[in-house]
Amino acid sequence: MMDFAITDYSPDCASNISDALSKIKEMIYTEEGRNYLNTVFKIQPPLNVSASDSFELDASHFLAYIFRSFQGVVQYSFDALNNYTMNGYGIDGLCEIMTTKEESVSKIAKFYFLFKAVTYLDNDYNRDISHISKNTYNLSNPYDFNGNSADRGWVWICCGMAMGLLQSAESSHTIFNRMLPLQYYFQLCQDVFGPTINTTYITKKVEETIYHFGNPWNYSASNVVLVNGGYDPWSALGSKVTRKDQHQIAIQIPKAAHCSDMYPARNGEPIALKAAREAIENELDYFIKNAAVPTTLMPSTPTTSSLVVTTSDSSTPMKSNVATSFLLCVILFLFGKFFV
């Protein structure tokens, strides 16, 4: 999705990124190249073959930092999330840098420092995973309460619980050209949670998740709007199925990204957002007008809010917990930062 989004926005930008990343990968394996990378990216500790007992991990960790910076930029392109995203934090700002006449690798460094808002690249793998490797957290500590414990929970979802969300770049047919191997994430998952988190374990958990929730292309519900931004990497997992007779409406918004339909309209946003919001509002209007009016008082004790729907291939009711779905959306939105 990131490759598509950048290439769709600017083929020249995508080509320049591809060339620069290929050079960076080559530079990692020459002394002259490492010296240049250490200087331009201000890498701490520096990439150094002779001083490291795990140089391949050092190299992959460095590339992971670069790769993740693209993830965040693409995911929040053109969003009205804050002043940052409304003023150049996105594909437009990225491509403004990458289509200049400067040396290509230095442009990647310029992009990294500008969009990550840092002054050097901290490449200490062990220190970076230390806050998610803890088994206990002191919630009176604001760092543990506001970030560290949530980060560990998010990485557990990615590594070992349900999703198998290991954001690698294994394909040679994208602008990222095998930049970050899957093995990097296998090692990270094992270093944090133990050796049982391997390919077999992750595959089994993903299969269990699909068995329980089903595939997105088989999703069937009533009175629901399924919105996906065309540039949002998460849209690859979204349902694109519309079933008008039961008011299941799937909306794909070209050139929009993550949750872009949830922000107020603004100048300069993707033009398709206007029609998307209108379609969403029309459906919401239908939901409200056709909502069942309760004839008895609601129970005084709290209950779990659930929606009962029927799958398209079975008459057996499938219970979809609205509260759980909303919580997952919040988790994805707020705590996806570690791998982004």
Eight-class DSSP state of 291: P
From residue 243, alpha-carbon distances to 61, 258, 321 in Å are 44, 23, 20
Q: Which residue would you say has higher pLDDT here, 166 or 5?
A: 5
Instruction: Give the pLDDT confidence of 285-339 residue by residue, as tens digits.
Output: 999 998 865 555 444 343 333 222 222 333 333 333 333 333 344 444 444 444 5
Among residues 236, 339, 165, the alpha carbon closest in space to that of 5 is found at 236
Instruction: Give the pLDDT confidence of 199-246 residue by residue, as tens digits.
Output: 888 888 888 888 888 888 999 999 999 999 999 988 888 889 999 999
pTM: 0.79
Query: In order of start, what are the domains of the chain with their CATH numbers?
Result: 1-123 (1.20.120), 216-289+307-335 (no CATH)
Q: Give the pLDDT band (50/70/90) at residue 12.
A: very high
**Residue 214: left (phi > 0), alpha (psi -120 to 50), or beta?**
left
pLDDT for 35 beyond 60: yes
Mean pLDDT, residues 153-181: 81
Helix axis angle for 104-116 and 11-27, nearest 10°, is 100
Instruction: Give the pLDDT confidence of 143-166 residue by residue, as tens digits.
Output: 888 788 889 888 888 887 766 777
pLDDT for 176 beyond 50: yes
pLDDT for 181 beyond 90: no
pLDDT for 102 beyond 90: yes
